[in-house]
Each structure stands twice: as structure tokens, then as C-alpha cells.
Structure 1
Amino acid sequence: MRICLIASDPGHPVLAATAALLAPQHRVESLDPDRGDTPPAELLGSGPLADVYLLKAHTPRALALARHLEERGAPVVNSAAATAFCQDRTGMADLAHRSGLPFADTRTAAGIAELPDPDYPLVIKSRHSRRGDLVARVDDATRLRALADQWPDEPVVAQPYLGGTGWDQKIWVVDGQVFCARRRSELAEPAAEPAGGGAFGPRELPADRAELARRVGEVFGLDVYGVDLLDGPAEPVIVDINAFPGIRGQAGAPEALAALALRVARQGGGHRLPAQREAERDTAGR
């Protein structure tokens, strides 16, 4: 099999470990979609396509390349559509709510100054998720005005700040296999170490949390993804969903990713967004 990593950093720990597992019997390559000014489609050259592409990069050029590959019939994990969808926090919240997932209440505004009568504290995020985007806790009107001055033209979403333990439950899923850990929330005030010394692996994860995480993949059409849950009395509340996150330090994750790559390479195709599946059924029924 020939497996290609679409990534700006193929040396990322989970990618490097996955490549090391595959390399003895399979050909593993990497492709940086943001290298130079070459149009994404031309990066592929004229040779045959790989058997599967793992889409770790999320930049516009990476998504354009993934779409081009899919148009040519190549399987991409995660799909370009599912990856792009998770970059729109408004669409993410809307689909989650319509699907019955416990996602944080989310309001959208064309700019920070246009948020109607906010209740403090709240969390302000860029509507479009990307590297270096806005994610900030706001406790009063002074802080809100300062952010409006710093980000005058930024479309945003606002969510209520939900008090917790000061930690987040980070859940990662690779082809249905669940991994997890607690991480200090960058938005929380200093908090003590969580009960149990922070132990929070798959054995400590309640069954309903694991099932919730798997449900997210079905709803959003993802095979490799992360779910951030509030850790505290208001849980379970989903505060973010990420396509193909880093999954650092999780024993078994590279093995799961390698197995997924080989399965998709053999079978072809991955998940589709629910809207895509419905459109395909409608088309087939005509």
C-alpha cells in the first residue's frame, strides 16, 4: 500500500509513529500543501495516486488539495468536506444542537461590537477556527471593548463561560477507538489537581462519555477527531470538536491510525457528512 500524509509537519509525534509502523511493509510519503506557490493540484505530479491520504493539515490549500484528490477518486481521511465543516463554529454548534448533542450554547455575530447584551463571564471565539484565531474569556465590558478594538472585523461566536474544575476532558477517537486525558483549560482560573491525581485514561472514561464521543464522529462524518468536554458539575457539555488533532502521548493511537489507513486504502472511501449521504440517497432514488 502507498499512504500519503498531507501535513506541514510529518514529524509530528502521532504521524511519525504511525509512519514507522507502516513503513516496514508499505510506502509512506508526505506532502506539504503549503510548500511554495505551486497550485495544490500540481503538487501531485503526473504519477499514480496513493491508496489513501491522511489529511492532517487544515489550511485552505490543504483543503483544496484534498477536494482535488477526492474528485479524482482518492480516499481522504478525514474528508475535505468534514474537515472544512469543523472550522465553522457556527455550523458546528447548529448541527450538534439539531442532532441532540450537548453542545455549549453558541451565538454568532459579525463582529464583537455587535454581540447583543452579553452576560458575563463568557467565551469569545473566532467563528472560523484556524491557527492563531481568537479564543478568550471575557469577564466585563472593558475587556470586551478591548477585544473589539484588537479584532475589529472578526466574525465571532460567543458561549457562556461554564465554571468547572479548571480542566478539560480531552477525548480523541480514531476509527471508533477512544483515547482521553485531562488538560488544564487555558481559560480557567488556577485550580487544584483534579481528584485522583488527574488519572483519566480509557479505563476511567465513563461508558456514556465514550458513546457520546463516538456519536460525534457519526454526526460530523469524522474518522479521526477530538472532542473537548467541560470537566465539572455542568458536564457533559461539548465545547469544541476538532478534525484530526494531535493526539499526543496516547498509547495505541498510532496503531489505530495505521490500521485505519490500511482499512480505508483497501476498501476505499471514509465517512460522509450526513447532508452528503442524504443527497446521495436522493440522487440514487431519482
Structure 2
Amino acid sequence: MRLCFLVEEHYRHDGMPNEVIGRLTAWGHRVDVVRPGGSLLRMTEAVGTGAHDAWVLKTVSGGPGLTLLEAAAAAGMTTVNDARSIRGVRDKALAAALGRLRGLPLPVTYAVADPELLREIPDAEYPLVVKPADGSSGRAVHLVGSPGRLEALLPVLAGEGMLIAQPYVPNSGTDIKVYAVGGELFATERCSPLHPDPSVRERRVPLSAEVAAIAAQVGAVYGLDLYGVDVLLGPDGPVVVDVNDFPSFRQVPDAAARVARAVLALADRGAASSAPGVVPMAAAGVGAAGGAQAYPLPVSIPAQLTAGVGEGA
């Protein structure tokens, strides 16, 4: 296969996706790497040749790579993930609206273009978590304990563009990060960016049936294949606080090979879906073989696992 990876400068030296690219190359596939933030792109010709079997995006939110991926999708190319799905989760205000509408346990979310409008949020909603609507990697996430603290933060927030604010979900200070790759789910526990603690190391943890069902539902709601979900175990149950397309897959066993196989399978699926009489893998319920601490993504989620999931804390 011939694949095109769109890799932002931020990830130029990261193991993910470089190890995936190395694995694919070692398997005999051709991988072209485009750095959309550091290249002069002739947009009228960049996707017109149809020379790639699939396009893969690993960029920061708000970077130029998504525009190029969307152009490839518009030209009929297979993209990993679906370009519209990526756009849907990278806009956190849109993601929150879609997620709650479709039954995911997300917090109530406010969105503002001018940070001074955050003053209108009722005092009863404090403490708040405020972050950029296009943020990633924990950038500019603030725990705002009171309206007075908000006033002090307004100058800092002024340059962040669209913002979202959500009531803080009381928790133990750790997040559950669930990674979905190759039809399987893997869970890790890590320190919350709101409660930094150098003594807390990221580690693999068992994945409960309730959190697994929510994580699988995230993929179905947003149309993602490779993704990560940040979950807090709040007093009223699990709450989804972030969704990432193509995350780091840290602590996933043999992550580079798993992601590489998933990319190839999705490229094959994209080709198969356009062939008459061929049922795509997702519709047929085909997934990768299970392993330790791996949970196959269900085609449908049992009702008993999703009952009462509609409201976030």
C-alpha cells in the first residue's frame, strides 16, 4: 500500500506516529510524510493524483493538516479517521453538544467567543473547568474555583479564541484514558492535568464493563476508529471529559504494530466499501483478535450497560 501521513511539527520526533511509519515501511508499504505546518502546499494539486490508498492525520488541533485531510476526503480518498469525524471532536463545543444529544455522559458545557461572557455563568456552577474549544494535550486547561478567580484569569484567556466551560467533576485526581485501536479497548490511569502529582505514574488498569460500553459508544457517536477517551469516575458515575482522534496510545502493548495494522485494515475497508456487494468490516462486526486487557468493540451496546448514561455530573 501507499499511505500519506500528515504530521505536524509538534509530533516530528514523537514515537507516535514515527514508530508506526517505521513499522509500515518495514512491512514493505510506502509511506509519504507531509508536514503541513512547514510546507508550501499546492492545494489544487496536493490530493488530485489519487496516488495514496489512505491519508492519516497526526496533528495538533487547529493546525493546517485537517484542511488537507478534508480536501483528500472531498476528492474521494480514504482517510484515517473520517475527516468529518475528526472535525467533530476537535471542536470541543460541537463535540459536547453532539455527545449529550446522543446520550454520552458529558458535563453541561458553556461556549463563549469572548471570555468576559463567562461572567454570566451562574455561581452555582462553580468550580468550573475552562479550556480552549480547539485545545489539545492539556493546553490552557484551568480549574476556576470562583467568580473572583475568573476575573483574575480573563487576561490570560483573552488570546485563546473560542472557550468552553464545564462544571468540575469531583474525582480522585486521576483520569482513566481508554484507547481504541484495531477493534479493541485498552485502559490506563494517569494523573489529571488539573491535579499534577509527579508521584502518579501512568499505568495499565482493568477496564470495567460500564466504562468499556461508554468508550465503545464514543466511537459510534462520533464515527471514529482510532481514538482516545478521557473518563473521570465522578460521584454519579463515569463522565466523558475529552475525546481525541489518533492519540498517543501510551501503555498499549505493541502499540506501533497495533496502530499500523489498524491503519492498513481501515485503508482496506475504505477500498472495500466502494466495491459493489462488499460489506465493510464495521458493518460485519469484524475486529482484531483479543488479548490481555483488550476488549472487542461491540457492534451494538447492551442496553443494560448504557441505561442511565444520558446525564453528566
Tell me which interval the TM-score lies in, with the shorter structure as reference length: 0.7 to 0.9
Cα distance in 2 for residues equivalent to 1:246 and 1:75: 22
Q: Tell me, which stretches of 5 or more residues in structure 1 are unaligned?
A: 272-286
Q: Which amino acid aligns with 1:148?
A: L
Q: Which amino acid aligns with 2:235?
A: P
Q: Find the counterpart in structure 2 of residue 3 from structure 1.
A: 3
Task: Give the CA deviation at 1:78.
Answer: 1.0
Q: Percent identity?
A: 31
Cα distance in 1 for residues equivalent to 2:252 and 2:93: 30
Task: Give the CA deviation at 1:61.
Answer: 2.0
Q: CA RMSD in A?
A: 2.7
**8 Å contact from structure 2 (residues 4, 32) kept in 1:** yes
Q: Which amino acid aligns with 2:22?
A: A
| Corresponding residue SS for 1:69 | helix
**8 Å contact from structure 1 (residues 78, 270) kept in 2:** no
Task: Give the CA deviation at 1:132.
Answer: 8.1
Q: Tell me, which stretches of 5 or more residues in structure 2 are unaligned?
A: 274-313
Q: 1:82 aligns with which of 85, 97, 120?
A: 85
Q: 1:183 aligns with which of 187, 190, 207?
A: 190
**8 Å contact from structure 1 (residues 166, 231) kept in 2:** no
Task: Give the CA deviation at 1:184.
Answer: 0.6
String of CA shifts for 1:120-146, please: whole Å, max 9, x gaps: 211111223357853100112232012
Q: Find the counterpart in structure 2 of residue 128 from structure 1.
A: 134
Q: Find the counterpart in structure 1 of residue 144 from structure 2.
A: 138
Task: Give the CA deviation at 1:227.
Answer: 0.5
Q: 2:95 aligns with which of 92, 110, 117?
A: 92
Cα distance in 1 for residues equivalent to 2:141 and 2:127: 13
Distance 1:60 1:67, change over 3 A: same
Q: Find the counterpart in structure 2 of residue 170 from structure 1.
A: 177
Distance 1:186 1:208, change over 3 A: same
Task: Give the CA deviation at 1:255.
Answer: 2.4
Residues 12-51 of structure 1: pairs in structure 2 closer than 5 A: 12-23=14-25, 24-43=27-46, 48-51=50-53
| Corresponding residue SS for 1:34 | helix
Corresponding pairs, count:
265
String of CA shifts for 1:14-63, please: whole Å, max 9, x gaps: 3222223222321122111112343445456x755211111112444211
Cα distance in 1 for residues equivalent to 2:213 and 2:199: 28
- TM-score where L is the length of structure 2: 0.75
Q: Find the counterpart in structure 1 of residue 228 from structure 2.
A: 226
Cα distance in 1 for residues equivalent to 2:63 and 2:154: 26
Cα distance in 2 for residues equivalent to 1:269 and 1:60: 28
Distance 1:131 1:246, change over 3 A: closer
